[in-house]
Chain A
Amino acid sequence: MGRPGTQGGTLSALEAAAVAFGVATLAGAAWLPPKATRVSGASFGGLIAFALARLAWGVPVGALASVTFALVLFRFAPGAVLRRVTFLVPSLLLLVFVTTLLMYHAPGSPFAGEKVASPQVEAALRAHFGVPKSAVDFFGIYLRRLVVEGSLGPSVKVQGRNVETLLRPALPVSLTLGLLALVLASAVGLWLGIVAGLKPNSAADYASTGLSAIGLSLPSFVLGAIGIVLFALKLGWLPVAGWGDLRHIVLPAVTLALPHAAYIARLARGGTIEVMSQDFIRTARAKGLPESAVVLRHALKGAILPVVSYLGPAAAGIMTGSFVVETLFGIPGMGQWFVRGAINRDYSVVLGTALVYASLVTAFNLLVDLAYAWLDPRVRSRS
């Protein structure tokens, strides 16, 4: 990565060794014996719960909630889940470290602002914000702050504010938007897909696959812009941008959900077609069940399975989309902080958003795995 003109130059031996160590730890977690995995998984799970709960409710309630959570994990969680959690903490550490490295090796620095500071002033600023010249030192300071003070560090660009105070109002905004989009995408996608899959090559099938083809082949922000022109500017039903009441959430949520609704519709269609050709459907029909019962009781599960396994990637994709959609609609969410932080080289803001996003995605993936195991007995018996 040592391009001429970049600030950081090539990786130092120490940095490379640290990355190698991180990857090795990550890999090593795969060979822990099952007992050790249970213990480490439960304690890591508690730790993460504490980090999140402290952000939301403060230390005492957070501690209580997370200890309970850890015990529940240890007693009841399937081994596969705890293995995933064990894997999570080293991977979050690696994420923070690699992100730090990338930012330190990118040209520019948080202090290369409009007014050129003297070396002494810059040194004083670096000391004040805890942003030393070396990426490894920064990583040390960041981790200490995170573990000891439970703080994501001060923002360099937003004077006098900590990253957690910046993100606390933004997190519920992004969560609401993201979850709503996910629910919308699943509901619309499933409905379209099942309708299409029950009668392949019918008019309904062509309409549904045509709709999903459009959803898949336009960037979401184009659909969003068309929505703004149509519903906000021409018809005046909805506000153009902003955040506040229910009417603000409609356009962004639909924009965010559309590409994923389209993909889910395709998956559900394929799943439905496959399930409907199975023997047990013929049996269900042969024993005289009404068609609605055949679909709802027997076919639905088959249609849902491929969709459930897509929900994890969908959540990550919705986060990616939220960077764009939040920018388009001027929504004060986390995506905006990340983009702004990355462009301004506000290291702690970038790391903070990365941590929160990655934890959310992983937690969501865990839930998806659990749901999958619950829905598909073949997976359940394997773990």
Chain B
Amino acid sequence: MSTRVLPPPGHSPGARAWRRLKRNRLARVGLVLVTLMALGCFCLPALLHLDPTTTHPAFRHQPPSAAHWFGTDGLGRDYAARVLAGGQTSLLVGLVATLTCVVIGVLYGAAAGYYGGRVDEVMMRFVDFMYGIPYMFLVILIMLMFSESARGDPVPVFVALGLVEWLTMARVVRGQVLTLREREFVLAARLLGAGDLAIIARHIVPNVLGIVTVYATLTVPTVIILESFLSFLGLGLKLSWGQLVSEAVGVVNPVAVYWWLLAFPSAFLAVTLLCLNYVGDGLRDAVDPKGH
């Protein structure tokens, strides 16, 4: 620490973290692949005029061919179209539920860490309590709050997953804020007459954004996996990677193996989650190089 040379002017901590991230090969590949995956899921269906809903009873369970790259499903729908459309919702759920987690987790953790003492104790007791409950319980119970017809929509899934997954975020943010609030610049802000809200918003939250980005990146895969669990139990989205995979698992039988039904959505899901995990790890190393 004592011999550290000051970085040249114009190189913010964010820029330095970005440089370190770019040097990490796995994270770089992951970032590119995830971007391609998202672009593909959102743009390709429109470009190639793929239709995930039209049924062709004559073409049920067709293996992959030139006409249907990923084959067709049990109702004769084009499976490539379905996998891409499922990717849209899976990625959306991952993003929106993670945003919910970030908002709740950062506010909660920042408040607990900033006020400290008994407020902190009470707030963290509640987090401990939530940790003690198998979270699938809560997810399922919250899903049941919505009427049966609304259950396949994205909103209930966002709400249920977002309300459950913020705990780790809150813990991480709290830990950071506990040390941040003792720092000189917070004291200086207070001496200049800044109120609690202003200090949290202007000085605390910007300083935890790095670590929040890391955990948000790692939350996206968790949320996508949880959604697939919900789909498997019949409580998830109408169409998502998780739903496609669980549907494929449901038709596993000894007579005929429709491997493409399981293989394509699983591969897309696995590649996306793998890349997100690598990006998250890379971000962690980039934001906190001493951590490893």
Which residues of A line the B interface, CB within 8 A? 1, 3, 5-6, 23, 26-27, 29-31, 87, 91, 94-95, 99, 102-103, 105-108, 213-214, 216-219, 221-222, 224-226, 228-229, 233, 240, 270, 273, 313, 316, 319-321, 323-324, 327-328, 338-339, 342-343, 345, 350, 354, 357-358, 361-362, 365
Contact = CB atoms under 8 A, between A and B. Distances in A.
A219 B269 contact: yes
A203 B228 CA distance: 33
B185 interface: no
Tell me whether chain A's interface is mostly helix, strand or loop, or mixed.
Answer: helix
A339 B144 CA distance: 11
Interface string B227-241: 011001110000000
Interface in B99-125: 118, 121-122, 125
The 5 closest A-B pairs by CB, nearest first: A217-B273, A27-B122, A320-B136, A225-B249, A217-B274
A354 B135 CA distance: 11
Contacts of B144: 102-103, 106-108, 342-343, 345
Contacts of A27: 118, 121-122, 125-126
B221 A217 contact: yes
Given A1-B145, A218-B266, A358 B140 contact: no
A354 B137 contact: yes
Contacts of B34: none
B147 interface: yes
Interface in B56-89: none
28 contacts: A1-B145, A30-B125, A91-B132, A102-B142, A102-B144, A105-B145, A106-B145, A217-B270, A217-B277, A218-B269, A218-B270, A219-B225, A219-B229, A221-B228, A224-B249, A229-B257, A233-B257, A270-B292, A319-B134, A321-B229, A328-B232, A328-B249, A342-B140, A350-B141, A357-B133, A361-B132, A361-B133, A365-B132
B29 interface: no
B111 to A, nearest CB: 15
Contacts of B129: 26, 91, 94-95
A29 B229 CA distance: 35
Given A1-B145, A94-B129, A328-B249, A221 B257 contact: no
B269 A357 contact: no
Interface residues on B, range: 35 or more
Contact of A362 (B121, B125, B126, B132): B132
A116 B145 CA distance: 22
B233 A327 contact: yes
Given A229-B252, A233-B257, A357 B134 contact: yes
Interface centre among A31, A219, A229, A362 (most CB of B within 10 A): A219
Contacts of A219: 225, 228-229, 232, 242, 245, 269
Tell me whether chain B's interface is mostly helix, strand or loop, or mixed.
Answer: helix
B146 interface: yes
Contact of A213 (B136, B248, B252, B274): B274
A219 B272 CA distance: 12
Contacts of B148: 107-108
Nearest to B241: A219
A354 B133 CA distance: 8
B262 interface: yes
A24 to B, nearest CB: 8
Interface in B209-238: 221, 225, 228-229, 232-234
Contacts of B98: none
A27 B245 CA distance: 43
Contacts of B18: none
A313 to B, nearest CB: 8
B131 A316 contact: yes
A354 B137 CA distance: 7
A92 to B, nearest CB: 9
Contact of B134 (A94, A222, A240, A320): A320
Contacts of B232: 219, 221, 324, 327-328
A102 to B, nearest CB: 4
Given A87-B125, A222-B262, A228 B252 contact: yes
Contact of A324 (B233, B271, B272, B292): B233
Nearest to B275: A217
Nearest to B142: A102
B254 interface: yes
B141 A342 contact: yes
A382 to B, nearest CB: 17
A38 B286 CA distance: 45
Contacts of A273: 292
Contacts of A228: 252
B136 A319 contact: yes
A199 B242 CA distance: 36
Contacts of B266: 218, 222
Given A6-B147, A102-B145, A354-B137, A216 B277 contact: yes
A213 B277 contact: yes
Contact of B262 (A107, A225, A270, A316): A225
A119 B170 CA distance: 47
Contacts of B128: 87
B126 A26 contact: yes
A324 B278 CA distance: 26
B157 to A, nearest CB: 15
Contacts of A240: 254
B133 A358 contact: yes
Contacts of A327: 232-233
Contacts of B133: 95, 354, 357-358, 361
A141 B126 CA distance: 26
B134 A361 contact: yes
Nearest to A216: B277
A264 B134 CA distance: 19
Interface centre among B133, B140, B249 (most CB of A within 10 A): B133
Given A87-B125, A354-B137, A222 B233 contact: no
A342 B140 CA distance: 8
